[in-house]
Amino acid sequence: MTLDLSAYLKRIEFAGSPSASVADFQKLHLAHATHIPFENLDILLGRPIRIDLESIQAKLVHARRGGYCFEQNQLFAAVLQNLGLKTTYLAARVRFRVQKTLPRTHVLLLVEIDGDNWIADVGFGTVGILEPMPLIERQESFQYGWTYRFIRIEGTWILQSLQKDGWLDLYGFTLEPQEFVDLEMANHYVSTFPQSRFVQTLTAQTSTTAERRLLRNFDLIIDRGGESVTTTLRDQDELLSVLAEQFDLQFTAGTRFQIAGAFGTG
């Protein structure tokens, strides 16, 4: 299936026809990151996550839903490739607040423009980048209320976010290209393995340039770049209201997500 570029541009509210320039690449990335939510809700409704372009477009573009990295970055890669930009899938190990080595379950994009390498990633949720970053070690990227950089340790590139107490690792990756079959395998793991956080925890996230909203099970967290407020929701009816009002994710009344160990799942 081919990309429906006009429908995608309408979805992210991008005016005009984008070119393969750095400026339009940056604008597309920001528009995508601030218009299409990060979410895993289908998993908790017992639905499979399909990452072929037809399924992704049907869900994220035409049904106005969100998705996680394998959906988000696959869609964005199709857009960049449509513009003629060389785009390569890379795999990362998540390092964000973990104490053990995890498998490579995050996909991001290496994009070449005018001989320079950039990292694009519209699929890491509210702690991720809003704008693409040149792949340059220790060059800080100031993105509204958030700051990022790459460091390199023994051949591994690490994306870091600046926090109050210093730099925090988000994920580590190498420049080894990944094929679609690699993405299929990792997507199957994160969407079906019983210990996967995407199987265990409801997640919906959305970002603007002013604030980032995270719904984790029944906790709604709003981060404004250093200041965060948490509200605990009462039940799944309020959950549905918050998904609609805060994340523009619409579900029919009475929808119930299977959230392991949480109240209100009936």
Distance CA 178, CA 185 (A): 11
Instruction: Of 223, 219, 222, 221, give the one whose Cα is nearest residue 239.
Output: 219
Out of 32, 69, 165, 248, which one is annotated catalytic? 69
Across 182-212, b (16+ Cβ under 10 Å) vs e yields: ebeebbeebbeeeeeebbbbbbbbbbeeebb
Q: Tell me how far the alpha carbon of residue 21 is from its chain's centroid.
A: 23
Residue 75 token pair: 């869609």
In a 13 Å sphere around the CA of 34, the CA atoms on its Cβ side amount to 16
Comparing CA positions, the residue from 64, 208, 76 lying closest to residue 130 is 208
> Using CA atoms, how far apart are residues 182 and 5, in angstroms rounded to an integer?
25
CA proximity to 183, closest of 194, 171, 191: 191
Catalytic residue (choose from 24, 121, 219, 248):
121
Does 62 qualify as catalytic in the annotation? no
Burial class from Cβ neighbours inside 10 Å (0-12, 13-18, 19+) for residue 153 reads exposed
Q: Which of 106, 182, 223, 237 is catalytic?
A: 106
Rg for the chain, CA atoms, rounded:
18
* Cβ atoms 113, 20 nearer than 8 A: yes
Reply yes or no on whether 165 is catalytic.
Answer: no
Please indicate whether residue 121 is annotated as part of the active site.
yes
In three-state secondary structure terms, 20 is: coil
> Under DSSP, is residue 263 helix (H, G, I), strand (E, B) or coil?
coil
Residues marked active site are found at 69, 106, 121
